[in-house]
Structure 1
Amino acid sequence: MMRSLLLSLTVLGAGAVAQQSAWGQCGGIGWSGSTSCEAGSCCVSQNAYYSQCVPGTACSGTATTTATPTPTSGGGSGRTRFAGVNIAGFDFGCATDGTCNTTAVYPPVKDMPPYYNNPDGAGQMDHFSKDDNLNIFRLPVGWQYLVNSNLGGTLDSTNLGYYDQLVQSCLSTGAYCIVDIHNYARWNGAIIGQGGPTNEQFVSVWTQLATKYASQARVWFGIMNEPHDVPSITTWAATVQAVVTAIRNAGATSQFISLPGNDWQSAAAVISDGSAAALSTVTNPDGTTTNLIFDVHKYLDSDNSGTHTECVTNNIDDAFAPLATWLRQNGRQAILTETGGGNTASCETYLCQQIAYLNANADVYLGYVGWGAGSFDSTYALDETPTGSGSSWTDTPLVKACIARSS
């Protein structure tokens, strides 16, 4: 098992003062550990919630500083390239066993027939982009909805047309747009390539989607949401490989593609469950791994389910620090496409710390996408949906505190 960088401490001299190693936490609201860094690193404030020992930075006379984060070769630019929010609704009715009740879909496409007064997903994304400086949106959709429940069939022109309205609204903001099939590696309870739909049937839907969006450089292909309890990770990696090959051969030769592992894409389990190793074998047709990005999820509540309004961890020690080490060692990158919590003080503290860590390690973390907005409302525990319309929107407290960017 890989040990977190935050657990690597150096004992100094007669005072026996514990010092944090490179990339370890050294300060922030609620932090009670050491604020001193080992030689060669200095404590740099990322925001009020998180400070980190950054190698190669200049200390101003003491071991700690609250200076503006300095770009380094190890930690990247000090801010992830992407930040955004999920715009949910086309996935409503999809359960964790891969069944999708398409009558429960609640599209965030305003005034879409035969529905009326739907949530204004386009307006939300326009607000997030202009007012919060967010630049990526994940657009989950059920596999059954796309093909009108015809496994292996062609994309349903009516349903795809509605979904494409959301995609086009996303593209119009200038943001990147993740097309995400939200089926948990399943179709009606059976696992893709392992007793359920064949790889060919899964490849079919992705070949059609890739063909449609091949000319859109900012469409990001999210192969599958939260595979779980998949018996063979190597067999699943072969399924992922088939999809990557199909997407590239359909003409989408350079867009980002997300590689999802087992165990609900948990950032804490991706190494230990074998997903990272298995998915490392997936390549583009030319043998490279360019723009093939590990896709992880991580919530902050007591059981990592994303169902509670209180948060208990920032996930740095047990998830993101070990994964950052693995990514650097293997020359790869990851994106966090689901994270969030309730609009509570505990979640503001821990989510802001988590995001600050990702920002400080932007060489290996491309970004984060909060869950969720779109068709959710204030009754949802993890609601990130802004209220209002037109040119006037108000963010939820968690989005305002942690996810929105000042510039």
Structure 2
Amino acid sequence: LFEVHQYFDSDYSGTHDTCVQRPCQNLLKEFVDWLKTNNLKGWVGEIGSTIDSECKACVEELLDYLQENRDYVLGVTWWAAGPWWGHNAYSVEPNAEKAFPEQMAWLKPYLPGPSELTEVPVFINKKVYCKGCEVTGTGGDGSLWGWEDEKSCEIDKAGCGFDKPVEQPTDEPIEEPTGTPDEPTGETKKLQYLGVNEAGGEFGEGSLPGTYNKHYIYPNIDAINASIEQGVNVFRMGLRWERFQHELFGDLNEFDVTEYKKVVDAATANGATLIIDPHNYARYKDNLIGSEEVPIEAFADFWTKLAEIFKDNDKVWFGLVNEPHDMETDDWFKAARAAVDAIRATGAKNNILIPGNGWDGAWSWGKEAWYGEANADVALRYFSSEDENILFEVHQYFDSDYSGTHDTCVQRPCQNLLKEFVDWLKTNNLKGWVGEIGSTIDSECK
């Protein structure tokens, strides 16, 4: 059987609350016609929606159409159920009393049975949280889950401190940040740098080292220059460690160094700053830095070789790695210290960006939360204001789980997400950098 999936929202992804693809049977017509023409059988492996009158009508249209064509499409399965999906808006997971979210009642007239039940008991799908805060897993919607009384339950992220509380807007004016000797003077008080992440070199992680222009690509110089003409003055440019160095402690790959350096040289010659970004999440071939497979010395060796190439260009900054996660915070900063020392041993005085553990979120920089010891505490074991030309890097998105994977921005006022990090910088006389922000086109996001 040939399997397809079909959702009904604006981009067919099943990540939005509304169904806009009416009449919904048209979405499957081409597939069904193809099955008929070629005397083949099909299967619809995923459909799903939120509880909404338009979505209900859409589901009914689709199921009516599939019933009419049951000789070619044998069946359909709803996304989703399961103990860690129970409170998602698409869920049809029953509760302990064998009641279901409303969507199961939509499906009831189409269920082939056998069943002696004529109605579906329905409950309002609302969250019931664990009593404690011990996390044993994560849900498909970004939720955190625990195990209590021999069953799974959802963690109250806010109550357990896994969500940064957001202060409510007030009528009080927001205090403008005060200047420092390193900031530009003048009435506008603009940031010294504002730029763009240039992706491409880190793509194709399933095909390493991969083929250039097929699995990965480095940025277009003309596009970078067009951004520079608009006033952009910094670019963070991704690469994969495994492409630059095919074997740990080995020589750097001449082709990738050359292609990458062409962009670096062009951007910096045009006045921009270029941040080198090994987009590896503190891993090499899926093994953590600091593990037996990837000793810290290998990470230091890699940065020694990169620094030797770029140290004479003061417009090149060294971003140690992208978004370390699922490791001990102390292990990460120990590796970062070794890399910084290795870079400085080459004579390089370039700025170095040091990210934090836990996906590098600004909102959780000072929280001892799901990722272990807080970055704010551990960083100070290994670094201080005596270290020259280092900046601590954070990332910050504005959607419900801070991931940058949703269309809406709900963390207003958004400056509060960075306040704890900025206060930490001030207290310890350190410098910071926000390596990633971004949003969809939306008035709240703007």
The alpha carbon displacement at 1:191 in A equals 0.6
Amino acid at match of 1:159: D
| Partner amino acid, structure 2, of 1:86 | N
Aligned counterpart, 1:307: 405
Deviations, residues 258-307 of structure 1 (Å, cap 9, x unaligned) = 111111111011222421222223349xx922211101011122222222
Q: Could you tell me how far apart the structure 1 residues matched to 2:165 and 2:428 are?
A: 17
Give the superposition deviation at 1:347.
2.1
CA distance in 1, matches of 2:313, 2:342: 16
Q: Does structure 1 residue 294 correspond to structure 2 residue 389? A: no
Q: Does 1:125 align with 2:261?
A: no
CA contact (8 A) 2:267 2:274 kept: yes
Please state whether the residue corresponding to 2:266 is helix, strand or coil.
helix
Inter-partner Cα distance in structure 1 for 2:227 and 2:258: 24
Indicate conservation of the 8 Å contact 1:226/1:265, yes or no: yes
Question: Which structure has more strand as a fraction of its residues?
Answer: 1
Sort the Cα spacing of 1:276 and 1:105 in 2 relative to 1 into closer, same or farther, 3 A.
farther
Query: Deviations along 1:77-105, whole A, 9 cap, x unmatched?
Result: 5322110001111011237xxx8563454
- Give the conservation status (yes or no) of the 8 Å contact 1:228–1:263: yes
> Is 1:267 aligned to residue 362 of structure 2?
yes
Amino acid at match of 2:284: W
Contact (CA 8 Å) 1:102, 1:144: kept in 2 or not?
no
The answer as to whether partners of 1:240 and 1:259 remain within 8 angstroms in 2 is yes
Q: What residue number does 2:261 align with? A: 164
Q: Secondary structure at the match of 2:362?
A: coil
| 3-state SS, counterpart of residue 346 of structure 1 | coil
SS in 2 for 1:162: helix
Is the 1:192–1:199 Cα contact (8 Å) retained in structure 2? Answer: yes
Q: Aligned in 2, Cα 1:156/1:314: closer, same or farther, shift over 3 Å?
A: farther
Alpha-carbon contact 1:226-1:262 (below 8 Å) kept: yes
Match of 1:152 in 2: 249
Shift of the 5–306 alpha-carbon distance from structure 1 to 2, 3 Å rule, reads closer
From 121, 126, 140, the equivalent of 2:238 is: 140
Q: Distance in 2 between matches of 1:72 and 1:214?
A: 29
Question: Does residue 371 of structure 2 align to residue 235 of structure 1?
Answer: no
Residues 218/344 of structure 1: CA separation in 2 closer, same or farther (3 Å cut):
same
Partner letter of residue 255 of structure 1? N
CA 101–314 in structure 1, closer or farther in 2 if over 3 Å, else same: farther
Structure 2 residue ranges without an equivalent (≥5): 1-160, 369-373
Structure 2: how far apart are the matches of 1:5 and 1:327?
20
Q: Distance in 2 between matches of 1:297 and 1:316?
A: 13
- The residue that corresponds to 1:46 in the other structure is none
The correspondence for 2:376, drawn from 276, 282, 297, is 276
Instruction: Please say if residues 210 and 216 of structure 2, whose CA atoms lie closer than 8 Å, have aligned partners that are also in contact.
Output: no
CA distance in 1: counterparts of 2:417 and 2:181, whole angstroms:
18
Q: Is 2:270 the counterpart of 1:173?
A: yes
Q: For 2:255, what is the secondary structure of its paired residue? A: helix
Matched, 1:108 2:218: yes
Hey, what's the Cα distance between the residues in 1 that align with 2:176 and 2:300?
Answer: 43
How far residue 75 of structure 1 moved from its aligned partner, in angstroms, is 12
Specify every segment of 5 or more residues in structure 1 that has no aligned partner in the other structure, as ranges: 8-31, 37-42, 44-51, 56-70, 110-120, 349-407
How far is the alpha carbon of 1:194 from its aligned partner? 3.1
* Counterpart residue identity of residue 281, structure 1: R
Deviation at 1:315, TM superposition (A): 6.4
Matches within 5 A, 1:359-374: none
* Residue type of the alignment partner of 1:260: P
Is 1:35 matched with 2:197? no
Q: Which has the higher contact order (CA 8 A, sep 6+)?
A: 1
Q: State the AA in 2 paired with 1:82.
A: Y
Secondary structure of 1:82's counterpart equals coil
One-letter identity of the residue aligned with 1:264: W
- State the distance in 1 between where 2:235 and 2:182 align: 24
Q: Secondary structure at the match of 1:212?
A: helix
TM-score normalised to structure 1 length: 0.62
**Structure 1: distance between partners of 2:438 and 2:256:** 29
Same amino acid, percent of matched pairs: 29
Tell me the CA shift for residue 6 of structure 1.
8.2
Provide TM-score, normalisation by structure 2: 0.57
What is the 5 A alignment of 1:19-58?
33-36=169-172, 43=173, 52-54=174-176
Corresponding pairs, count:
275
For residue 225 of structure 1, the aligned residue among 300, 314, 322 is: 322
User: Deviation string for 1:214-259 (max 9, x for gaps)?
Assistant: 11111100001000011x211221111110001011121x211011
For the Cα contact (< 8 Å) 1:244–1:257, is it kept in 2?
yes
In structure 1, the partner of 2:352 is: 257
- Is 1:248 matched with 2:344? yes
